[in-house]
Amino acid sequence: MPDAAIRKLSSFAPLSPADIALLSSLLSDPKMVGPRTALSREGEPPGEVQVVLEGYACRYKMVSNGGRQIVAHLVPGDFGDLHGFLLDRMDHTITTLTTCQIAFIAKADMQRLFERPQIAKALWRSVLVSEAVMREWLVGMGRRTAEQQISHLVCEILFRLERVGRANKHRFEFPLTQNELGDSLGLSTVHVNRVIQGLRDAGLISWRGADLQVLDRTRLMALCDFDPLYLHPNLVEQARAGAA
Amino acid sequence: MPDAAIRKLSSFAPLSPADIALLSSLLSDPKMVGPRTALSREGEPPGEVQVVLEGYACRYKMVSNGGRQIVAHLVPGDFGDLHGFLLDRMDHTITTLTTCQIAFIAKADMQRLFERPQIAKALWRSVLVSEAVMREWLVGMGRRTAEQQISHLVCEILFRLERVGRANKHRFEFPLTQNELGDSLGLSTVHVNRVIQGLRDAGLISWRGADLQVLDRTRLMALCDFDPLYLHPNLVEQARAGAA
DNA sequence: CGGCAACTTGACAATGCTCAACGCGGGTGG
DNA sequence: CCACCCGCGTTGAGCATTGTCAAGTTGCCG
């Protein structure tokens, strides 16, 4: 099911049937990867480009005191490392969180993708949007409360999954551990736990296991001042209005 | 003096004399811009690409409670917005901090730059390194103490300025306000002040006005666990060893 | 049934924030 | 030329959000 990646890229630039066929062929042989498996390690030269087709993965860095900071989440449709394609060594580690379906694209095949103008445009736009996501994380860690940060991340993932057709109404798969959530936001597990309980008590979300539901999207977005503009949702004007 | 930008790009990919001539011509007519002047505003369509040739600028976002979060600093050699070149609207604001010399490059001229493979490679690499810088900021805000964060930022700027020939030994221009420093790191001005005094008392730095000296680089780097790998300093093998 | 990982709860500590006031210095208008 | 003013830096006191440590519970999987 390469559809998440193709949906994602199609939302960044209109792709021709030939573009889509090329992408499909390069994504057609994904591998199953178990949970908590490193795909690429800090300090090592990058290998093939990984594309997450199913499951959750993340980028992180360790700090000397033993702490971990997750700096990005990868959901279906996301590319692991366009970085590796141009840089010498990884400056962070990429790992799966859950069991994932990952397609691996060799550098030569990446060249073929970048030779197609619309695919190249979509890929670079996706890089720029992932930068925008990082900027938003910086804003959260610097200037938002723990409650707002957690709410903001929930909104972010909701919007990103909707973009690739992986959210059902206000419900989506959110398989993070409270510990991983803390490592993402710079919070302790204990504090994450207490804040989550607050959000549940406030009737904003329900979260059991990997099943997360946003019960009151409007209030949740208001709470954390969520403005989806930074995800650049409307880069491709939906000419396909009215399609089933 | 387009040399900062050319030095920067040359450190990311080897440029031919023709490449450098093209860059020089596009950077040859910079404009003086006063301090605290917006170059590009959140929500607006991006305009020309700004290149900082002299002075400090930054990207920031505001939050609803009135707080500001600076998400990146632009020093001589940095490009304001390759983003604008591909995206529809700015998701953050760019402003000068000090008086700056800024070159403006029209989109059509950016096209010409991207048509040159080595320039394109250098530009994209610089984008990826700026992402790495953001990741490091996330690590700092999430997992480092205020003292480490401030030290880390000082080290980052030192290394970045060295790369473009703007640092003299351990001394460089650092014209930020303590308030701006706090807005960069998610700290209050008061706390920044106290931490800075600690760093001074510890004999690590001297900072008066815009003049910052790193008095003990080794200890400063050790304090904040600074590893310059993430800046990808050695992408171009220095074949010019021994040059004066 | 046992074990382990994730979640939960409580008590306490601390890093960093807020509010408030004051000094210092440079720029500007009278 | 002097005085004022405003921005920046500095200091103090009290407070709050969040972290740490420790222990207990739950639930799934073997």
The verdict on A219 touching B (C-beta cutoff 8 Å) is no
Selected residues 1-30 of chain A with any CB under 8 Å from a CB in chain B: none
Whether any strand D atom is under 7 angstroms from the Cβ of B143: the reply reads no
Written as one letter, the residue type at A51 is: V
Return d(Cα A139, Cα B163) in angstroms, integer. Answer: 28
A61/B91 touch (CB, cutoff 8 Å), yes or no:
no
The verdict on B202 touching A (C-beta cutoff 8 Å) is no
Return d(Cα B44, Cα B36) in angstroms, integer. Answer: 18
The verdict on B179 touching A (C-beta cutoff 8 Å) is no
Q: Is the pLDDT of residue A110 over 90?
A: yes
Contacts of A88 in chain B (CB under 8 A): 232, 234-235
Contact B37, B83 (CB under 8 A): no
Exposure of B240 by Cβ count < 10 A (0-12 exposed, 13-18 middle, 19+ buried)? exposed
Across all residues in chain A, what is the average pLDDT? Answer: 94
CB neighbourhood size of A129 (10 A):
24
Comparing CA positions, the residue from A186, A168, A157 lying closest to residue A75 is A157
Q: Give percent of chain B above pLDDT 90.
A: 90
Residue of chain A nearest B121, judged by CA positions: A86
CA distance, residue A179 to nearest chain B CA (Å): 14
Q: Give percent of chain A above pLDDT 90.
A: 90
Q: Determine which of A142-151, B16-25, B234-243 has the lowest per-residue pLDDT on average.
A: B234-243
* pLDDT tens, position by position, A22-35: 999 999 999 999 99
Q: What is the mean pLDDT of residues A187-192?
A: 98
Q: What is the mean pLDDT of residues B94-115?
A: 95
A139/B71 touch (CB, cutoff 8 Å), yes or no:
yes
- Residue of B87, B138, B234 with shortest CB distance to A138: B138
Selected residues 220-239 of chain B with any CB under 8 Å from a CB in chain A: 225, 229-230, 232, 234-235
Q: What is the mean pLDDT of residues B73-94?
A: 91
Contacts of A59 in chain B (CB under 8 A): 135
pLDDT at A236: 86
pLDDT at A241: 43
Contacts of B125 in chain A (CB under 8 A): 86-87
Return d(Cα B230, Cα A126) in angstroms, integer. Answer: 21
pLDDT at A206: 97
Q: What is the mean pLDDT of residues A152-171?
A: 96
Contacts of A235 in chain B (CB under 8 A): 87-88
Q: pLDDT-based confidence at A1, cuts 50/70/90? A: low
Q: pLDDT-based confidence at A58, cuts 50/70/90? A: very high
Q: What is the mean pLDDT of residues A206-211?
A: 95
pLDDT at B82: 81
* pLDDT tens, position by position, B124-153: 999 999 999 999 999 999 999 999 999 999
The verdict on A170 touching B (C-beta cutoff 8 Å) is no
DSSP code string of B153-185 = HHHHHHHHHHHTT-EETTEEE----HHHHHHHH
Return d(Cα A12, Cα A163) in angstroms, integer. Answer: 10
Q: Is the pLDDT of residue A243 over 90?
A: no
Selected residues 70-129 of chain A with any CB under 8 Å from a CB in chain B: 71-72, 82-83, 86-89, 91-92, 121, 124-125, 127-129
Whether any strand D atom is under 7 angstroms from the Cβ of A210: the reply reads no
Q: Which of the nucleotides in strand D have any atom less than 7 Å away from a protein CB atom? A: 7-13, 17-22
Which nucleotide is the nearest neighbour of B195, by CA and C1'? C16
The verdict on A38 touching B (C-beta cutoff 8 Å) is no
Q: What is the mean pLDDT of residues B213-229?
A: 97
Mark out the alpha helices in chain B (DSSP H runs).
3-10, 17-26, 83-86, 107-115, 117-143, 146-163, 178-185, 189-201, 217-224
pLDDT at B118: 97
Best of A68, A82, A130, A131 to substitute, by most chain B Cβ atoms within 10 angstroms, is A131
- Where are the extended beta strands (E) located within A106-227? 167-168, 171-173, 205-208, 211-214
Contacts of B139 in chain A (CB under 8 A): 61, 63, 69, 71
B125/A232 touch (CB, cutoff 8 Å), yes or no:
no
B141/A144 touch (CB, cutoff 8 Å), yes or no:
no
A135/B83 touch (CB, cutoff 8 Å), yes or no:
no
Residues 6 or more apart whose CB falls under 8 angstroms from that of A239 comprise none
* pLDDT tens, position by position, B194-205: 999 999 999 999
Return d(Cα B7, Cα B236) in angstroms, integer. Answer: 12
Q: What is the pTM of this model?
A: 0.95
pLDDT at B123: 96
Contacts of B235 in chain A (CB under 8 A): 87-88
Buried/exposed A134-157: b ≥16 CB within 10 Å, e otherwise:
bbbbbbbbbbbebbbbbbbbbbbb
* pLDDT tens, position by position, A168-178: 989 999 999 99
Maximum C-alpha span of chain B: 54
